[in-house]
Amino acid sequence: MEKATLTAEVRETRGKGAARTLRRADFIPSVIYRKGVAQPISLPRKELVNFINSLAGEQVLVNLSFGDGTAKLAIMRDYQTDPIKGELLHVDFYEVSLKENIRVNVAVVLTGTPVGVKRDGGILQAGLREIEIECLPDDIPAHIELDVRELQLGHSYHVRDIKVGEGIKILSEPEEVVASIIVSASAVSEHTAEEEAAAVKEPEVMKKGKQEDKDK
């Protein structure tokens, strides 16, 4: 699996005031978790922002390099941004061991043009955007691809249809929908118009029938 290296520092101070001070100095307050223990750290804002922007939703192992020469292997679990300004506020990391299985969420990427879209004019609707898996850190895929070329109108692919590599276990519910092909709005409108046209013609036939009976 791809790895990235980030510069990190252990921080002794905590609280909102200390966090604001760090941000003014262009550092982002962060935490690295390991077996229920949280270690406060900080990372350079620019370095961390560039890293997050490069991910594009994919999973990447991170080598956190500290000033004392030590390093910790981790994955990024979550990050918070200011809801108004959009500025990065905080990042959570989880330390991992190359010899221990971990649970992570991995993005599902749909590939190909479904036959239900190309031939029947349907619309591809994405369902579950990511699934939870369990595996060794080195086996974590950046993302999981699902080929939807054979997906037909009115049909769906579920988590159970996803194939993963050896050593990877899918933990998400098998029945969760990942992709489906639905009828387009234009097709629905056309069908409705045909039904309305048929409904208008029907009374005329009935009326004619009654007239014929009267003539008899």
CB 32 within 8 A of CB 93: yes
Integer CA distances (angstroms), 29 to 39, 138, 214, in order: 11, 27, 90
Start-end of H helices in the chain:
16-24, 45-55, 115-118, 185-215
Integer CA distances (angstroms), 115 to 75, 108, 112, 147, in order: 37, 20, 9, 11
CATH architecture of 103-183: Beta Complex (2.170)
DSSP state of 84: T
What stretches in the chain show pLDDT beneath 70? 1, 185-216
- Predicted confidence at residue 41, as pLDDT, reads 96
- Predicted confidence at residue 206, as pLDDT, reads 47
Residues 6+ apart with CB under 8 A from 20: none
Residues 6+ apart with CB under 8 A from 184: 121, 122, 123
Strand partners, 132: 105
CB 91 within 8 A of CB 76: yes
Strand partners, 42: 9, 29
Domain 3-96 grouped into CATH 2.20.28.270:
no
pTM recorded for the entire structure: 0.76
Domain ranges of the chain: 3-96, 103-183
Structure tokens at 46: 């620019």
